[in-house]
Structure formats: structure tokens, C-alpha cells
A and B are shown apart, each in its own frame.
Chain A
């Protein structure tokens, strides 16, 4: 079991041996390792069943950095990143990422939401994630073959397209 306690507001606990069937946050299962993310007492707790995928440590490190941003961090009255949006972003990544996929750049937005960005292999993919999950997606192919963007609704085809276009690790 790997665990670490990090300074507020971000902490993580990567558990490689325990099953969290009763995770308080959403739990993702299936062909991928189960991943649970909770916001507890101003900490974000990440738990994974089985071996943690490589992208997860990278994603956690990025989230950890941005969660320290204070109000006004962009010099234009920005809000600090919302821990619930960070939780939702990690859970969404848990749904779409496979072991060999490339971790996105995790970019804080002025609104407090989180943007996941991939700009590689000739494709631009940007997913805005709010406290409840993805709210906007944009996919653009450099060749012009694909150029779609729009708000995310339940069962959105746009969101389903993302998983098939994600670049592999460099």
C-alpha cells in the first residue's frame, strides 16, 4: 500500500491492496482498476484497487499543485480550483484512461473548474470539468476531419468520442 499525507488542501492515499466497495464517492469498476475519489475535510483522497496506473500519479501531482492556488491567482479575479471539480476530473479520467494513455495537462480555469487538455498526435481535446463532472468538450483534428464542441449532456456522443482519440504515452 502506498500512502502519503500532503499539506492542505490536497492529500492522497493510493491503496493497492484494498477493495473499496463502499466508497463514499463514485466508484469506477470494469476492465480498469477501481478508482474512488473523495473530498474529506478539505482533502482530496484518491483510492485505487490494484496497481495504480502510471497516469494517475502524474494526474495527482498536477492536481496537488493547482489546489494550492489562491483566489485571484490569474490576476483577473479568478476563483481557486474547486476540490469537487478536481474530484470529478480524476473520476472522469478513471473512466476513460487506459494504462498506456497519456495523462492530460490539468489546467485550472478562472471559474474554479478544471480543464483536461491533450494537444498531441494531431488532435486537440479539451474537456471542462465542473463539480458534477464534464460540462463541455471540444475535439479538433488538425486536418479538419473532426471539429466538434459543445456542452456535455447525459449520454453525450461527444464525450464517448474522446476515449477513442486519446494519445498514448510519449
Chain B
């Protein structure tokens, strides 16, 4: 079991995680891409990076957050992806609890180097928890086809 201190300084424990557990990460409409070669919509690899200020990548632990709609609340047109803990572990990424009073439960940081190959792996080993809206998909497809 991993532990971390929250922003309030309380010792926070993560539940025990198995490989099939997931983190959820919001995807803004601008980072939804259409991959014509694979005929799929997926997030751009830049969706899986640390904050520009250096704070590790934010996400929600699915088994704690529980409601996907909470994770995208107030974020119009955002989609939500799930990435298995197994994928993160294979890429040497660690989950650290990072609860904040103004965020839904289960907020975590994904700590570790987000190299190009790591970000690519996350961008290809995910599932949509909340699909991008149809108009976002349509726009992404139009862009991908150069139209």
C-alpha cells in the first residue's frame, strides 16, 4: 500500500491496487485524434504528460472516484479514458494519492518519467470511459483526413 501526504498534510493511503484497476484521465476535445490507419479515435500522446509546472500527471483512481461523470464535471465536451494499472506499472509509473478538497475523490498523481515511448504506450492502451461527443469526433476525423 502506498502512502502520501495530501495538500492539507494528512497522511493519505491508497487502496491496494491490482493490475486490472484503472486510473481515469480527462481528455480535452482538442486532443482527440482520429487514427485512420487503425480506424479508431484516440487521445493524442500529449494527453499523458505532467503539468507544465512540473506537477506529476493528475488522474482519478476509478475504484475510489467511482462515478465517471464526477471526473468530467464542469468540463464541457471533455472525454474520459481509463488506463490499467498494469500498463502504468510496465512503464515504471507510480500512483501517489493527491487528494484535494475541491476535487472529486480518488485524485492521484502518476509519478515517473513520461518519455515519448511511455506517452505513446498510454495513448494506445486505454479505453474510453466517456466517449468524445459526436461533434468532437467529427471534427477530429475531418482534421485527420486533411479536409
Contact = CB atoms under 8 A, between A and B. Distances in A.
Which of A62, A109, A149, A169 has the most chain B CB atoms closer than 10 A to its own CB?
A: A109
Contact of B44 (A107, A140, A169): A107
B112 to A, nearest CB: 16
A119 B41 CA distance: 11
A22 interface: no
A78 interface: yes
Given A119-B34, A136-B116, A107 B46 contact: yes
Contact of B146 (A75, A110, A169): A169
Contacts of A122: 37
Contacts of B53: 77
Contacts of B38: 119, 142
Contacts of B49: 109-111
A89 B26 CA distance: 26
Nearest to A119: B35
A119 B46 contact: no
Nearest to A170: B145
Interface in B51-67: 51-53, 55, 57-58
Interface residues of B, number: 31
Contact of B120 (A106, A111, A120, A138): A138
B55 A77 contact: yes
Contacts of A105: 33-34, 140, 143-144
Given A109-B46, A115-B46, A126-B45, A76 B51 contact: yes
Nearest to A61: B143
A63 B44 CA distance: 17
A149 B58 contact: no
Interface of A: 55, 58, 62, 66, 69, 73-79, 102-112, 115, 117, 119-124, 126, 136, 138, 140, 142, 149, 169-170
13 contacts: A73-B28, A76-B58, A77-B51, A77-B53, A78-B52, A110-B51, A110-B52, A111-B52, A112-B52, A119-B36, A122-B37, A136-B116, A170-B147
3 smallest beta-carbon distances between A and B, as pairs: A102-B146, A103-B146, A119-B35
